[in-house]
Structure 1
Amino acid sequence: MTQVERHTYDVVVIGAGGAGLRAAIEARQHGLRTAVVCKSLFGKAHTVMAEGGIAASMGNVNSNDNWQVHFRDTMRGGKFLNNWRMAELHAKEAPDRVWELETYGALFDRTKDGRISQRNFGGHEYPRLAHVGDRTGLELIRTLQQKIVSLQQEDKAETGDFEAKIKVFAECTVTELLKDGDRIAGAFGYWRESGRFIQFDAPAVVLATGGIGKSFKVTSNSWEYTGDGHALALRAGATLINMEFIQFHPTGMVWPPSVKGILVTEGVRGDGGVLRNSDGKRFMFEYIPEVFKDKYADNEDEADRWYTDPDGNRRTPDLLPRDEVARAINSEVKAGRGSPHGGVFLDVSSRLPAEEIRRRLPSMHHQFKELADVDITAEPMEVGPTCHYVMGGVEVEPDTAAARVPGLFAAGEVAGGMHGSNRLGGNSLSDLLVFGRRAGLGAAKYVDGLDKRPAAAQSDVDAAAERAVRPFDPRGGGVEENPYTLHSELQQSMNDLVGIIRKAGEIRQALAKIEEIKGRIPSVAVEGHRQFNPGWHLAIDLYNMILVSECVARAALLREESRGGHTRDDHPGMAANWRNRLLVCSTDGNEVSVDEQPQIAMREDLFELFEIGELEKYYTDDELAAHPGRKA
């Protein structure tokens, strides 16, 4: 029998970023004993990298903003492949979640009349992002952390036990979800410091593990983002949706090497920064979508060039949706107009006074000055696309965040559907708040409705332990494999062959490489003991990265069109036969399969929010005729 440390809870939340903490708060406030399990240190969540702001239609800067406009922008950004119910709930509830953060103690930047300030961001019609300089994600995590601590203090005052109803397990990795029949029964993992095994007995698990970026060589994601939640859900019997859609943030640093891949917040462009090629030209005006071409204006002062969108708003093309900006940068580099190190120039120093840059963008200024000796108040940055966000994730029920496996819930980046084929900047932070709360609430209601708690079989715990220690005694035969070598080969393959621009032949090469690496996994060997062993940690992460990378590649090969974060060089443009088709990944434990699933038709009152002209790009005449109330 496996030696394992056991804990019993009502809800286990895996991940301590914004989504996980908000889910834990909700479950705890409904009286459930809740565990928060985080792979790294508490407070060191990737949410802190979301610097620009939280998208919420509060109307503090422009009173014309409302949830309907936010909903429209989100659907447009996702090219209408979004789960419209998730987009609706998100747009309606985001303002309440921001105001709620303020009651928890968040300190937002203010307008002159004292309201929460909001800034422009790509794809948003009005200034909509509530922000704390360029440290919004950090403030969000700080605030939610403090709320957790305050709840623990309430428990201590009431029961004498600081961790009576909510406890954080930091530096603890979950390797498997445990089930009783078809229902969740808990989770199995290990302490990263000691290697000791730990088992959580719980009828409900909330996945809030973030993204998959460490499968790519150039990424803004930190080391934790190895697709753990995606893979855990798949192996437990859940499905993943929209996995072909990977967002390459247009502005990651490409030079110097010390900061390669690190994100330059969209707030730099929101506050006036512009993109230039090696000729000094603001090239984004060449990539304005056709629908805006006749609205383009070229004033005498190039710094004030603008175009007008369909609603009469002046826009800078530097703030087009992220997928469009990333493709434009890629095109400039391929045409030989890139910066010396394979990117383009992002210039804010010629647009704002130095003191204003330091005031508005303190983290950007400090970070790049300290890490790279780049002074953004005096010189442009060299930037290019970096793997940033996965739109795909666990397929969930919108109102409860429940996956297909009873007792399993997901929120934040690990959940799919909300963003369709492309996420708008700022929607990630409001997404994790809205659906983190809903996941915690859904888990609480699920547990309250149970007549019997599920229990995991000891044989399943023993099997999970055996899989975890297999790298210490590899069974592949032949040459032992180094986990770092396999990880590097996977990253290079995904970066080169399933990156920002894709072709069928290259995707097939990537799938062949993935199959080759899968065949070498049983031979992965690590030395030493389980204590303080990063090679062992990576060997375990490889199982997840390989599984999720295969989902991305198989879905990308099947979708023969270009839409949002998925660009096929051999199938340019959106294809009519793909506009309402979703791709769903599942596994039988050995093979990944991808199946098509029709998109659920949008509710009539939401459909009527859109103009007929833009709907014609996404719907057939027969489909439009079924909606007589649409705008003409």
Structure 2
Amino acid sequence: MESIADPELTDATLLPYEQVDVPVLIIGAGAAGARAAIEVVQEGTDPEDVIVLGKRGHGDAHTTWARGGINGALGTHDPEDDWTVHAADTLDEGHFVNDPSKVETVTKQMPERLHELDDWGMNYSRTDEGEIDQRYFGAQSFRRTAFAGDHTGESLLDTLVERAQSLSIPYRENVMITSLLTEGETATGAVGVDLDTGKPVVFNSNAVVLAAGGYAAIYNRHTSRDDENNGDGPALAYQAGARLMDMEFVQFHPTGMAVDETDEEWASWSGRLVTEAVRGEGGRLHNSEGERFMKRYSPDQMELDARDVVARAIAQEVAEGRGTENGGVYLDISHRDAEFIQKRLPRMYERFQSLGVDMAEEPVEVAPTSHYGMGGVAVDETGETDIDGLFAIGETMAGVHGANRLGGNSLAETVAFGTVAGRTIAARGLGSPVLDEEVVETQVAPALATLEELTNREGQYAPRAVFEELQSVMWDHAGILRDGETLESGLEKLETIRRKAQDLTVGGRTSQSFEVAIDIQFMLVAATAVLRGALEREESRGAHYRTDYEEIDPEWQQNIHFEQADLGGMATSVEPVESPSEAVQAAIDVGYELDYHQLE
């Protein structure tokens, strides 16, 4: 890997930049990016030919907030479970608009991936016999969710970072990528900004991996940390010419924290995830009248029905006046003793304890919150996009989850497709990259000019205010319950926000306002696709619920693709879904299903 400071430029007015020549560029330092880097190097690539970029400090990625577990059909407690049943559950939860081949890629791999992580030192919770323990998660037929207390994502990322460091894989912190570079139909690198120094950085590469997260934080009530999951990954790919897919499918997790937002101590916790593991360990939902209301909505699966079912049930209870003071319902696990809760749910117990609530003695308030985008970048069986050498993995990619994600499958997808993409890249034996002069003139120069123009801009609107306005529009116009008129109105409001985004007051390149201004552009791409897809899909399927088209329409067992139109704007097209393999279809036909009452 070679870094060149302030190269001589043909255009003397070009903003000075640092050039980094590295064959494999991985954008995103969470589980997907780390696992891809590990595989590239394990397959024989020199570590110095790889770099992993993080927008935050190394080891501080959104993966750490995935609490509940990671799926794989180990059969620790239920030996009848296997990868075909895992695939069947995933397709069923996704209402059969998942890509079956991608589902199989994940479910077949996961037993091996889980044992591999164990070999690398992951701190799994274990049975009395010392095996990797597994718990129930919503809509899973068997106990297949491996876990490390309720801090699985944190333990997973710690394990991967330690493994990457043992392989001497280089990484770089606090770099925000603002655009990708291509030559014809081939990826050649990226342009970004070092957020510590404000200096632009041009990465000259032969393979680019987008592992930059999803787009759930385009909503104002979400489980992501501030300024994460704003659609960076999908938007970067789209702007470079790749297609997006199924962006209308946004999962609203049933249990985000419902708080008094006028209380300074609690306000920052609004919408933050209360892991599904609380319900997986027997947590019960009650309305303000003390009724365990899931008996009316799902008498067999109760609180462990699919996330979309439970989220809509909570929304219905609140809408009909049976909600709590803070617009939610109660989640109660106080029938379990304190020792059990502290062992199985340590982070949740500690969080609420710090806020003065003892989960072993009283319930907590929860309400639906935006959690995960099932859509993303359209990719092939290796994670490669329409652009040669550009890969998208983890929450940035589409195809695995369909219309609704099975809990515990997000972390599974990161390590499964990180492995596949990394292996594919390593097999290509990439040589030293060459930054073509035409690419500098036609792409690098305009990208740098855009960054320079944005720096210290004087406009009418504050970036944070426009950012939050966009989030509010998405919650109000493309939330849990949708209809055509509301979606149309949302698109109109986005146009107003788009105009405001061109008239912002922005500080220097190390300022938060600069980063937020760029985030808004990414968010506009993702938000437009969500609204367009939700308007076009005239049915209700999984997490997408139209009050004016309440039933599933078999004709809509299709994927919606989004791409840049020749004359500007966003074009959509529809493609049919492939059929599952015979082995998976057989598991679907058996009709395995969780019976909640096994827990009682």
Instruction: Give the C-alpha shift of residue 474 in structure 1.
Output: 5.0
Determine whether 1:512 maps to 2:512. no
Structure 1, 3-12 or 592-601: larger mean CA deviation: 592-601
* Paired residue secondary structure (1:233): helix
**Counterparts of 1:383-532 in structure 2 under 5 Å?**
383-398=366-381, 400-448=382-430, 455=436, 457-459=439-441, 460-472=443-455, 474=457, 480-527=460-507, 529-531=508-510
Letter matched to residue 59 of structure 2: G
Q: 1:606, 1:451 → 2: CA distance?
A: 42
2:358 to 369, 375, 384: 375
Instruction: Give the C-alpha shift of residue 167 in structure 1.
Output: 1.2
Instruction: Give the C-alpha shift of residue 446 in structure 1.
Output: 3.8
Instruction: Give the C-alpha shift of residue 517 in structure 1.
Output: 1.2
Q: 2:330, 2:519 → 1: CA distance?
A: 35
Contact 1:409 1:443 in 2 (8 A): no
Q: 2:20, 2:51 → 1: CA distance?
A: 9
Letter matched to residue 182 of structure 1: E
Instruction: Give the C-alpha shift of residue 605 in structure 1.
Output: 4.0
Determine whether 1:148 maps to 2:148. no
Counterpart residue number, 1:198: 201
Contact 1:57 1:65 in 2 (8 A): yes
Give a deviation string over 1:43-63, Cα, whole Å, max 9, x none: 111111111111000001111
Counterpart residue number, 1:2: 15
1:242 to 246, 251, 273: 246
Counterpart residue number, 1:225: 229
Letter matched to residue 271 of structure 1: E
1:366 to 350, 353, 361: 350
* Paired residue secondary structure (1:606): helix
* Paired residue secondary structure (1:85): helix
Q: 2:429, 2:377 → 1: CA distance?
A: 20
Q: 2:565, 2:389 → 1: CA distance?
A: 20
> What is the alpha-carbon root mean square deviation over aligned residues?
1.7
Q: 1:81, 1:446 → 2: CA distance?
A: 31
Counterpart residue number, 1:179: 182
Letter matched to residue 400 of structure 2: M
Contact 1:205 1:443 in 2 (8 A): no
Counterpart residue number, 1:34: 50
Determine whether 1:574 maps to 2:552. yes
Q: 1:473, 1:3 → 2: CA distance?
A: 17
- TM-score, with length taken from structure 2: 0.92
Q: 1:613, 1:53 → 2: CA distance?
A: 24
Counterpart residue number, 1:544: 522
**Counterparts of 1:75-224 in structure 2 under 5 Å?**
75-152=91-168, 166-222=169-225, 223-224=227-228
Q: 2:141, 2:410 → 1: CA distance?
A: 17
* Paired residue secondary structure (1:218): coil
Which sections of structure 1, spanning at least 5 residues, go unmatched?
A: 153-165, 289-295, 297-306, 308-315, 615-632
* Paired residue secondary structure (1:123): coil
Give a deviation string over 1:4-25, Cα, whole Å, max 9, x none: 1111111111001110100011
Contact 2:85 2:588 in 1 (8 A): no
Q: 2:156, 2:146 → 1: CA distance?
A: 11
Instruction: Give the C-alpha shift of residue 607 in structure 1.
Output: 2.6
Q: In the comparison of the two structures, how many residue pairs are matched?
A: 566
Contact 1:188 1:197 in 2 (8 A): yes
* Paired residue secondary structure (2:388): coil
Instruction: Give the C-alpha shift of residue 454 in structure 1.
Output: 6.4
Instruction: Give the C-alpha shift of residue 34 in structure 1.
Output: 0.7
* Paired residue secondary structure (2:523): helix
Contact 2:72 2:107 in 1 (8 A): yes
Contact 1:186 1:202 in 2 (8 A): yes
2:315 to 330, 336, 356: 330
Structure 1, 354-363 or 404-413: larger mean CA deviation: 354-363
Determine whether 1:260 maps to 2:264. no
Q: 1:454, 1:537 → 2: CA distance?
A: 26
Letter matched to residue 552 of structure 1: V
* Paired residue secondary structure (1:126): coil
Contact 1:206 1:443 in 2 (8 A): no
Contact 1:401 1:410 in 2 (8 A): yes
Instruction: Give the C-alpha shift of residue 473 in structure 1.
Output: 6.1
Contact 1:186 1:201 in 2 (8 A): yes
Counterpart residue number, 1:587: 564
Contact 1:16 1:36 in 2 (8 A): yes
Give a deviation string over 1:28-50, Cα, whole Å, max 9, x none: 22314111011011111111111
Which sections of structure 2, spanning at least 5 residues, go unmatched?
A: 1-13, 593-600
